């Protein structure tokens, strides 16, 4: 792949958007390669967490490639939006948790990419925002929907209507990012979180992610029913037997994902 790097260390996969000269902007090629990288992650049975970041020190992903997008027709814009939405849907549907390591600008499509991840951690130098209205358009990769669900409708409206960028500290205050780290500590922190997740029962983590994601759009009663069914289902796994046996025997569990 030309613009996306996929690396694996132990049970942690790291996907890096690698267009530093373009501040890692998303063009059609990058979206296709990101889809390819995510497909490889799905095929790799022992991956238990994914970290998503950008190359260089300036940007996570500075947005969509405006130079490529500026001349789009309505139909081309729809195709581009559909390509972006497919990536976000794949990220949300991955059976393993995804962590966005926001190391710099996360604007427009870059912010939307982070929003599609399960956990977001940011460098002190990070800037986040959805400035599309300053270009005469709106977020096209799910930003209007995911941001409102994460920080509330009023705050999302403020950020999207003004197109303002916010620093990492303000993003944490809004609930957009979980923690803010010094630049040289960001990836280490993300790896620590990923490794902790990887030490837990992978089937249980996958079910927890599924129930949280799908339950958020259901009534409380329907969400609780989904939880009950998933809880019971896990008692048919080897990991449940190993986890509880290890607890009784006062030893670390050796989960296999079975």
| Catalytic (active site) residue 173 | no
Q: Give span(s): CATH 1.10.12, the chain.
A: 202-248
pTM of the model: 0.94
> How many CB atoms within 10 Å of residue 188?
12
Catalytic residue among 2, 33, 68, 112: 112
Task: Confirm or reject CATH 3.90.226.10 for domain 4-198, answering yes or no.
Answer: yes
The predicted structure's pLDDT at residue 116: 97
Catalytic residue, from 132, 173, 213, 225: name it: 132
Task: Give the C-alpha separation, 136 to 253, whole Å.
Answer: 54
- Please tell me the predicted confidence (pLDDT) of residue 45: 85
Please report the pLDDT score of residue 245 as a whole number: 93
Per-residue pLDDT in tens (0 to 9) along the chain, 258 residues: 899 999 999 999 999 999 999 999 999 999 999 999 999 999 988 999 999 999 998 999 998 889 888 999 999 999 999 999 999 999 999 999 999 999 999 999 999 999 999 999 999 999 999 999 999 999 999 999 999 999 999 999 999 999 999 999 999 999 999 999 999 999 999 999 999 999 999 999 999 999 999 999 899 999 999 999 999 999 999 999 999 999 999 999 999 888
Indicate if 9 belongs to the active site: no
pLDDT value of residue 257:
85
Q: Which residues of the chain form CATH 3.90.226.10? A: 4-198
CB atoms within 10 A of CB 4: 22
User: Which architecture does CATH list for 202-248?
Assistant: Orthogonal Bundle (1.10)
Q: Which two tokens stand for residue 105?
A: 């600008």
């Amino acid at each position: 792949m030309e613009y996306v790097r996929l690396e694996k260390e132990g049970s942690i996969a790291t996907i890096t958007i690698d267009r530093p000269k373009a501040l890692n902007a998303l063009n059609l090629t990058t979206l296709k390669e990101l889809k390819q990288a995510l497909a490889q992650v799905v095929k790799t049975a022992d991956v238990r967490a994914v970290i998503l970041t950008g190359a260089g020190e300036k940007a996570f992903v500075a947005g969509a490639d405006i130079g490529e997008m500026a001349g789009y027709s309505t139909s081309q814009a729809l195709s581009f939006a559909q390509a972006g939405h497919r990536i976000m849907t794949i990220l949300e549907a991955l059976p393993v948790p995804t962590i966005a390591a926001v190391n710099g600008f996360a604007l427009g499509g870059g912010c939307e990419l982070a929003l599609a991840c399960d956990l977001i951690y940011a460098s002190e130098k990070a800037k986040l925002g959805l400035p599309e209205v300053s270009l005469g358009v709106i977020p096209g990769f799910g930003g209007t929907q995911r941001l409102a669900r994460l920080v509330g409708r009023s705050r999302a409206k403020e950020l999207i209507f003004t197109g303002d960028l916010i620093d990492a500290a303000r993003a944490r205050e809004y609930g957009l990012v979980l923690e803010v780290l010094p630049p040289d500590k960001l990836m280490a922190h993300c790896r620590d979180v990923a490794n902790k997740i990887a030490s837990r029962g992978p089937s249980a983590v996958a079910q927890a992610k599924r129930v949280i994601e799908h339950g958020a759009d259901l009534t409380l009663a329907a969400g609780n029913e989904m939880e009950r069914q998933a809880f019971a289902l896990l008692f048919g796994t080897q990991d449940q037997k190993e986890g509880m046996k290890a607890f009784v025997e006062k030893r670390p569990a050796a989960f296999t994902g079975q």
